[in-house]
Amino acid sequence: MNNILKQERFKETSACLQAILYMKLTLFLMCIGLLSASAGAYSQNKVSVNHRNTSLAHFLQDIEKKSNVRFVYSDDILTQNIQITVRAADADVSEVLKEALTGKGLEISKVNPNLYAIYKPDKRPSSAGAQEREVSGRVVNGKGEGLPKVTFWFVGTRIGGATNEGGYFRIVFPENAKEIEFRYIGFVTKKVILGDGNLGNVVLHSEDNTLEEVVINTGLYERKAGTFTGSTVTFNQQQIKEVSNQNVLSALAILDPSFQMLTNNDFGSNPNMIPEIQLRGQTGFSEDLRTEYSNIANQPLFIVDGFETTIQRVFDLNINFIKSVTILKDAAAKAMWGAKAGNGVIVIETLRPQVGQMRISYNASANIQAPDLTTYHLTNSMEKIQGEVLSGKYSSPIPETQAALTKVYTNNLKAALDGVDTYWLSQPLQNGIGQRHTMTLDGGEENFQYSVNLGYNNNKGVMKGSDRNTYSGQSVLVYRKGKISATNNLSVDRNFARNSPYGTFRDYARMNPYWRIYDENGNLIKSYTIGAGSSSTPVGNPLYNGTLNSKDGNNYTTITENFQIDYRHNDNLRFNARIGYNQQNTLTEFFRSASHTDYINISPLNPEYLNRGTYRLNNGFQKAYTVDLSTAYNKIIGKHEFYLNGILTANENKTETTGMTMVGFPNDDLNNIAMGKQYQEGTKAVGTENTVRIGAATAALNYVFDKRFLLDASFRRNASSQYGKDSKWGNFWSLGAGWNLHEEEFVRNLNWVDLFRITANTGVTGTPPGQNAYQSLATYNYILDRTYNGDMGLELMALANPNLQWQKVAETNYRAEIGFLNRFNASFDYYIKNTNNLLLSMEIAPSLGFTDYAENIGDVQNKGFQATLNYRMIKDAGRGLNVNIFGNVAHNTNKIRRISSSLEALNNLNSDKFDETGGAGNETAPKSDRQRPARRYEVGRSMNAIWAVQSLGIDPSNGQEIFLKRDGTMTYVWSAEDQDVFGDTQPLYNGTFGANVQYKDLSVNFAFTYRWGGQMYNSTLVSLVDDADFNYNVDIRALEERWKQPGDVSLFKGIAETSFTATRPTSRFVQDYNEFIFSSVSLSYNFTRMNFVQRSPFKSLMATCNLNDLGRLSTVRIERGLDYPYARTISFTLGASF
């Protein structure tokens, strides 16, 4: 019988398993194909030739036809009467060229295995050529040293050459040439616009990407990384796409350990769930992330192209539009953003147009998401019935009831014996196949450039009917005339998000396996029954809801217009003016008719029968204006370098929301809110309005002496309409110092040291005060249902607090960076963050005369470190092989330093929910809330502490839990007064490690993330095992591991426990939480240098495969994705440019 059940289970799960196997097979075949293509590309560089007195042009064309090799050369080489005589069989191209061109007055430079430059040795031009247009200059590295045999050519032509031993070059260029490109193995390729003929020094930067050449974009101004004392990290588009091409937030969570995307086990891989972000720990109290226009207490500030934006826009931002992302972590790096920078700043820079002929780039991706159900271990039909018998579900002391229960047992057992073993988990799921398309057009002259970016992203979730569609458009225009340049950036985003009409995933996890989905006629069964007789209760089939005409989704339209004009008075002085406008319209709809199974228990005799069906409609509108006026001045006087910035900022942000909830929709066709019967009881149409105005003045200084000693200082004075009249202004500042030891003579003598820098900084920033614009003011509401002598009355809604203080973060950061042997790069940061005057809007009992009051309620400290290491293991330019390994680790501890009496009262309120009678609030909290620890805030404890009562385990004699009270006595009675800290959800260490491998045109990148230390409260183990309701399906451990009879030693309480008392927080379910995740793999192959591409209209062609969340190892066994399952993702991308 068990074999039959197992076979049936296998048949019903085969769809998901086949999809996963298909994905793995596809990936394997793709890898084999790419490797074969790579081998084929370079095995063809052997040729057989037979030339006698052949022209040079014909000789080169013959080799190109017979191999994948391409040539660049100067036209004047072909005009010379150079005859080639050579004979070779299956010989390497480089050997053939060497034999053929020896003694011809030409030199050969091998740029890469498929590209050779042929040129004449550098000579002074003859008088005959003195009138020709020519370009000259010198190619140097970051230290000013000349680079020999650097290959260069004019973009759009085949004319080029190479530098001499000193790095100098001189060449005649054609009339239509506008750019010259320089390429050198181990260095970043560079394009330079042709000017008057003398390019001076052309600096090529090493691919090792040492911080000496990096420029830090703070969103307001730029600083050289080599002389900046702030702690920052920058990732370009390629680095982001190597770990994730889904969204930039997921990529940053892998790339940097201080950027934490908090796990939400309920919502899994829901494409419409925007994650909660923390950077260097928790500084405030979390709010509901799903609130429209929410300013989350711990969320970083997001800046796109110099203007503030929402996490929602960043979440939906097309990665192909991004040029770079910079994370500003400490006071020196972010203090210029003042009152909003306390949680860190994420600065995103989008692509800008490039000079030259119009280029067209196109990327197409296919994304496959497969549901991951490996953490679910539910009972099958026979196991479920066995558990029901042991739990006493079919037993009753009342004969009539016992007879009815016996009949139910017989029917359920018969269904199981007939082979009914429905695997409900697979029913609402699908393999989500989505797509992403991006097209970019850019080009222009030196005085005018343009770019247009168009994008479409269709993210299909693994729950049927759930998806997220984003349409994006962006245009950038740049105009330059003399000392003035103007840039206009317009972007429009349209988003549609739909949640699954099939309900939540937990609805299917609880369905009994012996229930059939369809009746004998093939019709979907609408409902089932649990219990018997008068105590029976109908249970709806969640699959039926998927057939209804329901609505559950939202959409928004965002328009962003940014314009700036820049005036460069001279090389030292620059003025800039910027104006930005942002507008967002949001619509949220939720509709369920009376046919929905939510209303299956409402009988026609119930007064609520006519109110079945619900329609919620919410509209939101947001607009923001920002104006910046800035000036930048720099001056170098001998060994002294000065960089100064001054900025004036004004901002207004206005949000409006309206909403209503109607009830009484008897059928699916009445899906307009106007067709409802009435407002939901106790509600009416509502609306909110918030207008916040901010002004700021900012000054920043960067001073460098002899490239050795560094100094950074910034000051920002902020004014905000959100604070009390006595605290309208807030001051924010930073001061940093650094020492470039690698510029000291005693370190320079150590030839193996490339970089050695130490910095320290301190300062004060702020965190957002929340979304209530009027939190410091007394606000009133009209009393609309009665009058006094014909006059309307007022009631107090929120109490004024004129002393409301700015929430500030005082930070100190110490940093050390080192690089040596041109292979190793490492950094270490140690920081202390003290958040003072924590701000919280407190809900007050209406009996006090008002319901809301904003107050500064405490201080919090975060302390920790972060370390990174990059090692260039292999750097073999000859073979085209590069192997780089990387790793990082972060550690953070959180401690409350002060709390107010209001927060102590909140602790008591949170404890009341565990009272089965309802506590002080006289209202019983939902069972699911009582099964989870409540947040408590005490001085000296962490904000992430897990509070529970100490458990001594399950009494083997009776299956009840034994608790240890604070006074040391034992009891069977749980009490909130006995709670203590038994863990912390913050990991002790978390980080990433992985490798980047490049062999010629094939690249492979993979990354693992980990967390070590810390704990979690396994609340799903409580609800699905310890408090399992055997009326519904349960975890197999509820059958196998619960106490059954005296003498059993078990972790879980008695299986026959029929009390509805919840298992409240106990140390029994606090578990050490260590996790190791195979986060990402990407494979890419660049076909650009292959012969078929060179002879096609394509300028470049690349194929990429990305896989995310491939697998994980965890010390905690937990059902992941309760309301929405997790998914594994695979993506195939093809990118081309024309």
**Predicted pLDDT at 516:** 95
pLDDT digits (tens, 9 = 90+) for 225-260: 889 999 999 999 989 998 888 889 999 999 999 998
Confidence tier at 924 by pLDDT (50, 70, 90): low
Confidence tier at 875 by pLDDT (50, 70, 90): confident
Q: Quick one: 543 exposed, middle or buried, by C-beta within 10 A (0-12, 13-18, 19+)?
A: buried
- DSSP symbol at 570: S
Cα distance between residue 42 and residue 216, in whole Å: 39
Cα distance between residue 153 and residue 177, in whole Å: 10
How far CA 337 is from CA of 431, 707, 1023, in Å, comes to 43, 27, 45
**CA angle (311 as vertex; 620, 729 as ends), nearest 5:** 85
pLDDT over 70 for what percent of the chain? 87
pLDDT digits (tens, 9 = 90+) for 377-389: 999 999 999 999 9
Mean predicted confidence (pLDDT) in 135-142: 82
Cα distance between residue 257 and residue 866, in whole Å: 8
**Predicted pLDDT at 797:** 66
Q: Where are the beta strands (DSSP E) in 569-685?
A: 573-592, 614-637, 640-663, 678-679
- DSSP symbol at 475: E
Whether the pLDDT of residue 713 is over 50: the answer is yes
**Predicted pLDDT at 367:** 94
Whether the pLDDT of residue 972 is over 50: the answer is yes
**CA angle (309 as vertex; 306, 312 as ends), nearest 5:** 145
Q: Where are the beta strands (DSSP E) in 99-221?
A: 107-112, 115-119, 134-140, 151-154, 160-162, 168-172, 179-183, 190-193, 198-203, 215-217
Confidence tier at 30 by pLDDT (50, 70, 90): very low
Whether the pLDDT of residue 192 is over 70: the answer is yes
Cα distance between residue 467 and residue 459, in whole Å: 5
User: pTM value?
Assistant: 0.79
Cα distance between residue 146 and residue 139, in whole Å: 6
Listing DSSP states for 488-504 in one string gives EEEEEEEEEEE--TT--
Whether the pLDDT of residue 15 is over 60: the answer is no
- Most trustworthy range by pLDDT among 196-200, 746-750, 979-983: 979-983
Nearest to 268 by CA among 377, 370, 365, 380: 370
pLDDT digits (tens, 9 = 90+) for 428-457: 999 999 999 999 998 888 789 999 999 999
- Under 8 Å CB-to-CB from 884, ≥6 apart: which residues? 870, 871, 872, 873, 995, 996, 997
Q: Which residue has the tokens 């990059």?
A: 870
**Predicted pLDDT at 214:** 66
Strands 134-140 and 198-203: parallel
Q: Which amino acid is at 804?
A: L
Whether the pLDDT of residue 120 is over 80: the answer is no
Q: Would you say 701 and 335 are in contact if contact means Cβ atoms under 8 Å apart?
A: no
Q: Can you tell me whether residue 60 is helix, strand or coil?
A: helix
Nearest to 419 by CA among 379, 387, 380: 380
Q: Would you say 269 and 462 are in contact if contact means Cβ atoms under 8 Å apart?
A: yes
- Residue 146: strand pairing partners: 140
3-class DSSP string for 62-106: HHHHHCCCEEEECHHHHHCCCEEEEEEEEEEHHHHHHHHHCCCCC
Confidence tier at 852 by pLDDT (50, 70, 90): low
Confidence tier at 585 by pLDDT (50, 70, 90): very high
- Under 8 Å CB-to-CB from 531, ≥6 apart: which residues? 408, 537, 1031
Mean predicted confidence (pLDDT) in 702-725: 90
Q: Quick one: 42 exposed, middle or buried, by C-beta within 10 A (0-12, 13-18, 19+)?
A: middle
**Predicted pLDDT at 414:** 94
Whether the pLDDT of residue 1 is over 60: the answer is no
Q: Would you say 801 and 842 are in contact if contact means Cβ atoms under 8 Å apart?
A: no
pLDDT digits (tens, 9 = 90+) for 532-547: 877 889 999 999 999 9
Q: Would you say 296 and 287 are in contact if contact means Cβ atoms under 8 Å apart?
A: yes
Q: Which amino acid is at 792?
A: M
Average pLDDT, the chain: 84
pLDDT digits (tens, 9 = 90+) for 1081-1102: 999 998 887 888 878 888 888 9
Cα distance between residue 979 and residue 608, in whole Å: 41
**Predicted pLDDT at 26:** 38
* Cα 119 to chain centroid, rounded: 48
Q: Which amino acid is at 708?
A: R
Domain annotation for the chain: domains and CATH numbers: 46-203 (2.60.40.1120), 215-354 (2.170.130.10)
Confidence tier at 358 by pLDDT (50, 70, 90): confident
Q: Can you tell me whether residue 1101 is helix, strand or coil?
A: strand
Confidence tier at 625 by pLDDT (50, 70, 90): very high
Which pair of tokens denotes residue 62? 């013959």
> First vs last Cα of the chain: how many Å apart?
64
Q: Put residue 800 in one of left, alpha, beta given phi > 0 → left and psi -120 to 50 → alpha.
A: beta
Mean predicted confidence (pLDDT) in 596-606: 92
Strands 989-999 and 1002-1012: antiparallel
Q: Would you say 27 and 68 are in contact if contact means Cβ atoms under 8 Å apart?
A: no
Cα distance between residue 798 and residue 842, in whole Å: 10
Q: Would you say 332 and 763 are in contact if contact means Cβ atoms under 8 Å apart?
A: yes
